[in-house]
Amino acid sequence: MEAGTIYITLAALFGIFMAWGIGANDVANAMATSVGSKALTIKQAIVVAAVFEFTGAVLAGGAVTGTIRKGIVDAELLSPTPELLVYGMLASLLAAGTWLLIASRNGWPVSTTHSIVGAIVGFAAVGVGIDAVQWGKVGTIVMSWVISPLTAGFIAYMIYKSVQWLILRHANPLERAKRYVPVYIFFAALTITLVTIFKGLSHIGLTLSVGSSYLLAFAIAISVALAGAWFINRIKSDRKAEKSQHFVTVERVFGILMVVTACGMAFAHGSNDVANAIGPLAAVIAIAQSGEVASQSPLPVWVLVLGGGGIVVGLATYGRQVISTVGERITQLTPSRGFAAELAAATTIVIASGTGIPISTTHTLVGAVLGVGVARGIDAIDLRVVGRIFVSWVVTIPAGAILAILFFFVFKTILP
């Protein structure tokens, strides 16, 4: 077997392993608020993820992939020895996938972006030299890990405050929920649709004018909102249940909205985090086919399909532990709270995906859940669980780097 074929085969296998890890850990994060708030069952969450994660990865996953593939390591320094970049990317995929397997088994919601970036930085610094790492780019990515949870937390706080102000603090919350929740559905659908059109359609060769794009997005968002309103108006007040819990029927209305935001969150996550699995894979394919390190290389659609498929299988087979941590243990979630967290996180992620910054979905969603908790009062948050999550975040980068360094030297020794 030729060396190029060996490289591509190993990269595809390790890429699937990494995508599986993203599904087990990060998609579990993305679906946790829906499952934790009882808006979706675990089986329904897997179906939603299967459709929308996969679609997001294939349609809108290309922009961030470029950052992971080319932005962290200085390709010029590796031009004389392209095989070193191959060994490094293979090592990075295997290292990040291994760490995600360990974290998912323990129910730790770690960052897959941390894992792969830490792994790439580790191999480049030790295997090639400190100068091979684009420290400016790494600094931008690290800043995004701080900014994204703060941004998502603030947006979630404001959304949940608006829910309290418009609906929950009134004498007739069910009537007001039926009036305002379709408006929330409209904005959720509009956000996701616009990102799909502007960032996704170009990857499959379709282009629309700006005016046409907005018209289409508004038409789709209005259709989704009207469909949501139809379902919501069929919900009847449950007087008996409301004696023990005042907002039980209102929360059922928000359950409809949670289905929309869960779809948006899955799409947003697929578009951003598929890069963690397929960015290194795309770099290996480009080198194996051309024999040289290229600053630009085409991204085959089958690579995006491979990443999207691996993500869905990971959630289905191994995602329950992390769903439990994020969805049930940080703060008590209801559909109205879960909706605020999901919409805030999805908005933050799709903005980042459009700008090419690989933020951490984990940080973003946990930040959003904390934002909802703060809106209810700091006592509503289990700070011990939050502390354990923060520790697992800190450990992730060095763990990814150390594993990548070990695998890099193994591959350098045994591969042609």
C-beta separation of 239 from 163 below 8 A: no
* Residues 207-225, mean pLDDT to the nearest whole number: 87
Task: Say what the pLDDT of residue 206 is.
Answer: 65
Q: What is the pLDDT of residue 287?
A: 79
Q: How confident is the model at residue 325 (pLDDT cuts 50, 70, 90)?
A: confident
On the question of pLDDT at 51 being above 60, the answer is yes
Q: Residues near 106 by Cβ (< 8 Å), separated by ≥ 6? A: 321
pLDDT at 381: 79
Give the global pTM: 0.78
Q: Do residues 42 and 49 touch, judged by C-beta distance below 8 A?
A: no
* Band (71; pLDDT cuts 50, 70, 90): low
CA distance 3 to 356: 32
Predicted pLDDT at 111: 81
Binning pLDDT at 50, 70 and 90, where does residue 245 land? low
Confidence class for position 340, pLDDT limits 50, 70, 90: confident
Higher pLDDT, 310 or 247: 310
Give the tokens for residue 48. 């939603």
Mean pLDDT for 10-37 is 85
Taking residues 159-177, what's their average pLDDT? 87
Average pLDDT over residues 340-359: 76
User: Is 91 a residue whose pLDDT tops 60?
Assistant: yes
Q: What is the mean pLDDT of residues 110-116?
A: 82
Mean pLDDT of all residues in 69-76: 64
Least confident window among 60-74, 307-321, 342-356: 60-74
Q: Does the pLDDT at position 269 exceed 70?
A: yes
The pLDDT tens digits for 374-383 are: 887 777 777 8
Confidence of residue 241 (pLDDT cuts 50, 70, 90): low
Q: Which residues contact 141 (CB under 8 A, 6 or more apart)?
A: 67, 72, 113, 117, 357, 358
Average pLDDT along the chain:
80
Q: Taking residues 102-131, what's their average pLDDT?
A: 84
Mean pLDDT throughout 90-98? 93
pLDDT confidence of residue 70: 52
What is the torsional sign of CA 56, 58, 62, 67?
positive
Which of 8-12, 281-285, 345-349 tops mean pLDDT?
Answer: 8-12
pLDDT exceeds cutoff 60 at 242? yes
Among 156, 248, 192, 241, residue whose Cα is nearest residue 60: 192
Query: 381 forms bridges with which residues in the sheet?
Result: 331
- Give CA separation, 265 vs 52, 275, 309, in Å: 8, 16, 17
Is the pLDDT score of 339 beyond 80?
yes
* 409 CB-side CA count, 13 A: 9
Over range 210-227, report the average pLDDT.
Answer: 89
Per-residue pLDDT at 410: 93
Spatial neighbors of 64 by CB under 8 A, at least 6 apart, are: 271, 272, 274, 275, 279, 352, 353, 356, 357, 358
239-250 in b/e form (b: 16+ CB < 10 A) is eeeeeeeebbbb
Look at 361 and 107; give whichever has higher pLDDT. Answer: 107
In the chain, what percentage of residues exceed pLDDT 70? 86
Q: Where is mean pLDDT largest: 19-23, 141-145, 360-364?
A: 19-23
Residue 261, Cβ neighbours under 10 Å: how many?
Answer: 31
Query: What is the average per-residue pLDDT within 144-151?
Result: 82
Report percent pLDDT > 90 for the chain.
13
pLDDT computed for residue 66 by the predictor: 57
Q: Which of these, 86, 74, 88, lies nearest to 290 by C-alpha position?
A: 86
pLDDT of 278 > 60? The answer is yes
**pLDDT of 84 over the 60 cut:** yes
Q: What pLDDT shows up at residue 214?
A: 85
Q: What amino acid occupies position 346?
A: A
**What pLDDT, on a 0 to 100 scale, did the predictor assign at position 362?**
76
Report pLDDT for 243.
Answer: 60
Query: In DSSP terms, which residues pair with 73 in a beta bridge?
Result: 133
Distant-in-sequence contacts of 236-244, Cβ < 8 A, 24+ apart:
237/174
Q: How far apart are CA 370 and CA 66, in angstroms?
A: 31
Cβ proximity of 350 and 100 under 8 Å: no
100 contacts 61 by C-beta, under 8 angstroms: no
CA distance 323 to 27: 9
Q: Is the pLDDT of residue 69 over 60?
A: no
